[in-house]
Structure 1
């Protein structure tokens, strides 16, 4: 029985090697003369897909928010920078994007605060656009409960779902959140 299994394995391996060599364009060129082509020449790579990529570039805690009331006791303010790190312009509804400040506990995710971005006043014909390498900056204010101060906090970019439940207009959603560390008190 072992001999027949070994023979079948050797036969499969040999068939695989022959099929691999036959399907390899580099080996198909062997023996062909006069074509003037390099035997190791490969077809050109397809162009990279161009897509927008909103990314939470930076954030920092601030003690004041310009043109706003002073912070109350227990309140924090974050200045954020959401950048288009992609290779194409980002375009969407002005009410489609949010920045959420949240934490997760054994009871689930708790939203502390949420702010829309960009300002709807930046819309032209009902669409906001962010060019490659450009940023939307703003402020998020939040009251932190004692529970929130004990938990790991994070900022997360959110997208409004459309009626078709399509994926967000973002080619890399892996850079849409960041762990937030409270400043030392």
Structure 2
């Protein structure tokens, strides 16, 4: 496994509806690789997770609000899924702007499940091959992306690596790819 000592990986979420495993599994992988994960949200306080979109999960403290993030300090940005989380994120202009800024800075972005909705809103998917939860396939195609049904897709937006996966079943491969991408940034 790659070494992330001294590297910070941001996890961008809304205030609620985050698919818990899609937050905690890559978070743990970053920690195990020696990195520092931070939870970023539009509001300070805590965020609440769910399991399978419906069952209550845990609450997690926000480390920084979106406006407190210094893009230059990040090694990667992760966008967990959860239908409500992803739907809310794409309506938050500051969260969408952060995604654009991270990509413009050449920092890898990883989105899983419904997370690619935020990539669509950021206007960065045209001509890019991505995967997601299957219900987003039409949305991605309508935004100009090529959608494929694979556990992990590595693509480039400009010169920046974008990683996408479909669902919690893909988390082992997704989490390892997040660590690898962050180590290379």
TM-score (structure 2 length as normaliser) = 0.23
Point out the structure with max Rg over C-alpha: 1
Of Structure 1 and Structure 2, the greater strand share is in 1
Structure that is richer in helix per residue: 2
